[in-house]
């Protein structure tokens, strides 16, 4: 089994990766965008057989207990992912991207129209890309990369759309707490990375309402301090 992480351009200066983790520091063909370059080995996993991708910001927290858990996962699954604690719907996830300036409204509308005929928005599973267990998932890898290149630099939505019919999963906190601390104030969340601002941060309410109409979803819940309408927004169509 191969455990690996990606640290392009010394993204994490003091990486502290365990000796049993392979560290990828360069890509052969650049996209011209350092953020997208860092996603190439993550999404288009370069290894055959069982492998475990671990985000560079978390790699110092994995240990022998994590390795034991990973071995058990591959006894039952060819692919396994963690569910984000927020459990966002498709619209809620898009709304966060707009609110934080991670992806533009235009890119999200374009991407949503592109996947509309293939994706059931009501069954959206918000996985985390922090750790990914895979065994020979080339079809998924290529589909994910294709979808990722059609949207912004965040890769969670494209990952959700590309997920195969069958895969294993577990709630993030429940799983991580077996080898680290993923409680709300735990060490697992102390070093968040990857929030690349690429567009103007805006109140996502009107965008989310339009996205509801486009996806056929009937409502959303989203927390923001930008709205002036209180911390919790509830939208319905």
Tokens linked to 228: 């002036």
The pLDDT of 103-113, averaged and rounded, is 96
Judge whether 112 and 215 are in contact, CB under 8 Å. Answer: yes
In this predicted structure, what is the pLDDT of residue 68? 98
Counts of helices then strands in the chain (DSSP H, E): 8, 8
Asked if residues 83 and 128 have their Cβ atoms less than 8 Å apart, the reply is: yes
2-87+126-202 classified as CATH 2.40.30: no
Rounded-to-integer distance, Cα 14 and Cα 89, Å:
35
In angstroms, the CA 113 to CA 118 distance is 10
**Length of the chain as a residue count:** 237
Q: In the chain, where are the structural domains located?
A: 2-87+126-202, 91-124+203-237
Give the pLDDT confidence of 113-161 residue by residue, as tens digits.
Answer: 999 999 999 999 999 999 999 999 999 999 999 999 999 889 999 999 9
| Neighbouring C-beta atoms of residue 226, cutoff 10 Å | 12
User: Above 60 in pLDDT, residue 98?
Assistant: yes
What average pLDDT does range 9-37 have in this prediction?
90
Put simply, whether the predicted model's pTM sits higher than 0.85 gets the answer yes
CB 153 within 8 A of CB 198: yes
The answer to whether the Cα torsion of 146, 152, 156, 158 is positive or negative is negative
Query: What does the DSSP assignment read for 171-225?
Result: EHHHHHTTTS--STTSGGGTT-------S-----HHHHHHHHHHHT--EEEEE-S
- Residue 225 CB partners (closer than 8 Å, separation 6+): 231
- Cα separation, 231 vs 229, in Å, equals 7
């Amino acid at each position: 089994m191969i455990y690996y992480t990606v640290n392009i351009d010394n993204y994490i200066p003091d990486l502290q990766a365990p000796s049993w983790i392979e560290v990828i520091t360069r890509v052969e063909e650049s996209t011209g965008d350092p953020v997208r370059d860092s996603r190439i080995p993550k999404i288009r996993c370069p290894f055959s057989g069982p492998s475990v991708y671990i985000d560079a910001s978390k790699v110092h927290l994995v240990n022998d207990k994590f390795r034991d858990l990973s071995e058990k996962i591959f006894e039952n699954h060819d692919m396994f992912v963690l569910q984000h604690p927020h459990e966002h719907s498709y619209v809620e996830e898009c709304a966060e991207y707009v609110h934080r300036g991670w992806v533009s409204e235009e890119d999200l509308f374009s991407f949503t129209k592109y996947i509309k005929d293939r994706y059931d928005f009501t069954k959206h599973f918000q996985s985390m890309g922090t750790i990914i267990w895979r065994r020979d998932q080339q079809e998924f890898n290529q589909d994910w990369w294709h979808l990722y290149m059609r949207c912004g630099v965040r890769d969670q939505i494209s990952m959700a759309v590309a997920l195969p019919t069958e895969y294993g999963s577990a709630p993030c906190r429940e799983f991580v707490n077996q080898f680290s601390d993923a409680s709300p104030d735990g060490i697992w969340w102390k070093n968040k990375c990857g929030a690349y601002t690429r567009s103007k941060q805006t109140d996502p309410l009107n965008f989310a309402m339009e996205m509801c109409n486009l996806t056929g979803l009937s409502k959303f819940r989203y927390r923001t301090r930008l709205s002036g309408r209180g911390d919790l927004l509830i939208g319905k169509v």
